């Protein structure tokens, strides 16, 4: 996604180098994103900074697309290189290009990685995440009940024997 001013140098580069088939679409509404993911053969995320979480990778993986991404925190938490795609060193355009070309030249590997990515993305579905959170809360609630029983038992042990008989 580009602001109009940000995309000017890229548009000029494409025009000056007579590169065809490039279209700058700007910001895409969220409901249209799946259509864009489905049109690509390989999804590329060449971020050079820190990402808190690789949501964009999961979106592409959910569409069954192999991913080439920078090996940065956030992305490397989501993508296992060699399974759902390929991680490359950040700010290394040569490695990025090699990985993309490698996948473009290997349709069976693309299909395999796309399927692996689809399976991994399913683990992050809202249903699965909500279930995991619910299970975690149930576990905490169980621990709290156990701690309460333990605390009451300890109080009972601290009473003098005479007090315990009367209770």
- Whether pLDDT at 162 is above 70: no
- Whether pLDDT at 146 is above 80: no
Q: Coil, strand, or helix at residue 53?
A: coil
* Predicted local confidence at residue 45, as pLDDT: 96
Please tell me which of 2-6, 95-99, 140-144 the model is most confident about, judged by mean pLDDT. Answer: 95-99
What percent of the chain is modeled with pLDDT above 70?
87
Q: Coil, strand, or helix at residue 43?
A: strand
Q: How far apart are CA 39 and CA 41, in angstroms?
A: 7
Confidence (pTM):
0.76
- Count of C-beta atoms within a 10 Å radius of residue 85: 30
* Predicted local confidence at residue 132, as pLDDT: 85
Angle subtended by helix axes 107-123 and 93-104, to nearest 10: 100
The CATH label, of 3.40.50.2000, 3.40.50.620, 1.10.10.10, 3.30.70.2860, for the domain at 40-124 is 3.40.50.2000
């Amino acid at each position: 996604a580009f602001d109009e001013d940000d995309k000017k140098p890229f548009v000029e580069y494409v025009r000056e180098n007579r590169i065809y088939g490039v279209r700058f679409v700007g910001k895409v509404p969220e409901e249209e994103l799946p259509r864009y993911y489905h049109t690509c053969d390989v999804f590329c995320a060449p971020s050079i900074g820190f990402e808190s979480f690789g949501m964009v990778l999961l979106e592409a993986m959910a569409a069954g697309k192999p991913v080439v991404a920078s090996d940065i925190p956030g992305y490397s938490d989501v993508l296992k290189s060699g399974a759902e795609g390929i991680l490359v060193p950040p700010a290394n355009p040569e490695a990025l290009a090699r990985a993309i070309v490698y996948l473009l030249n290997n349709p069976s590997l693309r299909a395999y990685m796309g399927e692996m990515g689809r399976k991994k993305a399913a683990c992050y579905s809202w249903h699965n995440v909500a279930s995991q959170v619910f299970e975690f809360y149930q576990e905490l609630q169980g621990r709290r009940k156990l701690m309460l029983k333990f605390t009451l038992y300890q109080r009972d042990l601290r009473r003098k024997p005479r007090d315990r008989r009367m209770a």
